[in-house]
Structure 1
Amino acid sequence: MHSQKPRERRMPSKIALGFAAALAVLAAGSATAQTNKYDYPVTTVTLTTHSKPGSGSDLFLRKLSKALSEEMGINFVVDYWAGGSGAKAMAQLAKAKPDGSVFYATTPTHVTTSLLSAPPVTYKDIDYAVNVFFDPEIIYALSSSPFNTMKDAVEWSKANPGKARWGGSTAGSLERQILERINSASDAKATVIPQDDGAALLINVLGGSVDLGVGELQELNSYIEAGKVKVLGVYYPDRLAALPNAATIQEQGLDKDVIRKFRGLAAPKGVPPATIAKLEKAVQAILANPEFQKEYKADALVAGYMSQADYRVFMANFVKEQEGFLKQFGVTQN
């Protein structure tokens, strides 16, 4: 009697695998929708940024989307509306449906773009929903730099008028404002050189084209840990837990007031207050979550919750400050 050969196992086809994956995605989406803890009006929310993948805003939104998805039981996804330093994103947001399905990551950039470039759609055409974090700025230099603090850099610049080269990102950026304020207040007589963006600035600091730069710890941390750059000062009212030995600019006597870089969410005009209230409640919940706190504190982000009402007031005051800076220092688009 002949024994039967064992039947060969057939590998699933790519079509079958794709179909199974699609079913898994649909099942996950359905499960998420069924666990809508806040009774939010939509089950998928898009968080957009005008920045590129890997930027500070991108990292902020990725952390935020994950935390909000888990807290609210709905889907949050990140999308990129790059172009025009926020001009394109504001235009897209302004025409989006005001149902709580789309929000835009706000930083000072969209305000300075509105004031300097006067695009067809500006900050006046969108609404502010909630602020989440403040993002302290770090002044840094090459590890081989003779400066150990920003005060050292200022003193050297005063002793060598016109020779210091400080890199300050784009023309109206907060990073440039920080250096212009220090330069003016201390009469350092340094040359503040605008850069295309934070990445270009870092390259020029590493290459020695500029003596120092300003950036965020999220972007600089790996270079600090690798010993390539060192911190000269922290531009924030308090020292950071992640950098306990780095003195603030105020401690160094270089600036009395500190402009805080914010990270929040803007919405199309007309989103119902009840919808915004649910988002406000969820943001407060995740900021109080110990696991999420470990994540954002590791990146030196500071919880900066503001309700819609408070955020609107904050932004109105911020716009006035920006208008004053641009006028005082004669900053233009170029």
Structure 2
Amino acid sequence: MTLRHRPSTSIPPTGPRRRTVLITLAAGLASGSGLPAHAQSDWPSRPVRLISPYGAGGASDLSARVLGEYLAKDLGQQIVVENKPGAGTRLATELVARAPADGYTVLYVAAPYATAEALYGKGLSYQREQLRPLAMAMHAPLFLIVNSQSPVKTVRDLVAFSKTRPGGLNFGSPGAGSQPHLAAELLLREAGMEGLNVHMRGDAMAYSELLGGRIDATLTAISSALPHIEAGKLRVIGVASEARSPLYPSAPTIREQGFPGVVASGWYGFMVPSATPLEVMARLQSAALRALDDPAIKQKLLDMGLEASGAPGAEFAQFIDGQTRKWTDVIRKANIKIE
């Protein structure tokens, strides 16, 4: 399998111009925000907590630790990754939203952040205004996968196959309201297919059901499926990306197979409490972008099934807003409700 890298992301320079860069970056971060502009020149003087919204051992945890090691060297202080799984990432988000705004508690935010309001409504224990996007980190492309014994080899084959199944297709997804669940709902709608999402506890169970022929397809991250794909037991028929993924470049995008609206991925980034001092935010953002532009870091992330996509806070905020609008529309049209 051939792996390719994206072009390097432009990042703020270091060296003699550092102070000018911090002032410029702080001004950009502060624009329209009402955030305090005072600096904390001694930051960080103690370990920084990086809160991961998922359990130990998964892509979120492992990638957070890879980035944490880089940040520790860059900032000269220990980065402690803490796993706070539960409630669809809401526990971790609430913890950081209520944390002191001193730069010592950072959220490793994930895709469910953009859909929480639409899925849980008044059940949220925090407000989005309590947190500020600091830097985009990476994407986890979602691949459309079927059993290799299936006659389905393309997305159009899948559409035709769905018409032969009473009640339509059975999709497997790792949890109600998850990004794979929403992506499958989007595909069903865009392709005019009937189908049912079967919710499971994680990707491993979805692949087990797919291997056993108890579901027809799954649309999720590829890393844990690769051994089955390489063994010829599972088949990749598409990826829900705007362009082909370096993780599996032979897989055509779903949009190039005639369904341009089907673009979806998991993603991660950094957020902090909104009142965090601007110089602290600027230093964190600059260090994060340097990490994500490092070739060794990019390769480690690719090995985990993740594509580095570093972008500063303003771009990350726009991305989150776009994701929120997009998936809120899907949630409403599919009448998805989570108690």
Where on the TM-score scale, by shorter chain, does this alignment land: which range? 0.7 to 0.9
Deviations 1:255-303 (A, max 9, x none): 3352343210121221111111111211221222222222223344223
CA separation of 1:131 and 1:42: change in aligned 2, threshold 3 A: farther
Higher Cα radius of gyration:
1
Q: How does 1:10-159 map to 2 (within 5 A)?
A: 40-117=43-120, 118-159=123-164
List gaps (5 residues or longer) in structure 1: 1-37
**Residue ranges of structure 2 left out of the alignment (5+ in a row):** 1-40
Name the SS of the counterpart of 1:233 in structure 2: strand
Q: Which of 283, 297, 301 is the equivalent residue of 1:292?
A: 297
| Aligned equivalents of 1:130, 1:228: Cα separation in 2 | 38
**1:208 deviation in Å?**
2.4
Structure 2 residue aligned with 1:19? none
Whole-Å separation in 2 of the counterparts to 1:70 and 1:205: 43
Matched, 1:305 2:283: no
Contact conserved, 1:56 with 1:219, CA < 8 A, in 2? no
Q: Percent identity?
A: 24
Structure 2 distance, partners of 1:224, 1:68, is 35
Deviation at 1:156, TM superposition (A): 0.7
Alignment size in residue pairs: 297
Please tell me whether residue 225 in structure 1 is matched to residue 246 in structure 2: no
Counterpart of 1:217 in structure 2: which amino acid?
I
Question: Are residues 1:259 and 2:268 paired?
Answer: no
Q: Does the CA-based 8 Å contact 1:181-1:255 persist in structure 2?
A: no
Kept in 2: contact 1:168–1:193 (CA 8 A): yes
Aligned-partner SS, 1:333: coil
- Matching residue's letter, 1:301: L
Alignment partner for residue 270 of structure 1, among 272, 275, 280?
A: 275
Kept after mapping to 1: 8 A contact 2:141/2:264:
no
In the other structure, the counterpart of 1:279 is: 284
Structure 1 residue identity aligned to 2:279: A
Equivalent residues of 2:114, 2:321 under 8 A apart: no
Give 1:122 deviation, angstroms.
4.4
How much does 1:321 deviate? 2.0
**Structure with more relative contact order (C-alpha pairs < 8 Å, separation 6 or more):** 2
Cα 1:213/1:309, change in 2 over 3 Å: same
Contact 1:132-1:306 at 8 Å conserved across structures: yes
Distance 1:203 1:52 in 2: 21
Measure, in 1, the Cα distance between the counterparts of 2:175 and 2:158. 21
Residues 197 and 39 (structure 1), Cα distance of their counterparts in 2 relative to 1, 3 Å cut: same
Query: Which segment drifts farther, 191-200 or 286-295?
Result: 191-200
SS of equivalent to 1:304: strand
Distance of aligned partners of 1:171 and 1:253 in 2 relative to their CA distance in 1, 3 Å threshold: same
The structure-2 alpha-carbon separation of the partners of 1:108 and 1:157, relative to structure 1 and needing over 3 Å to count, comes to same
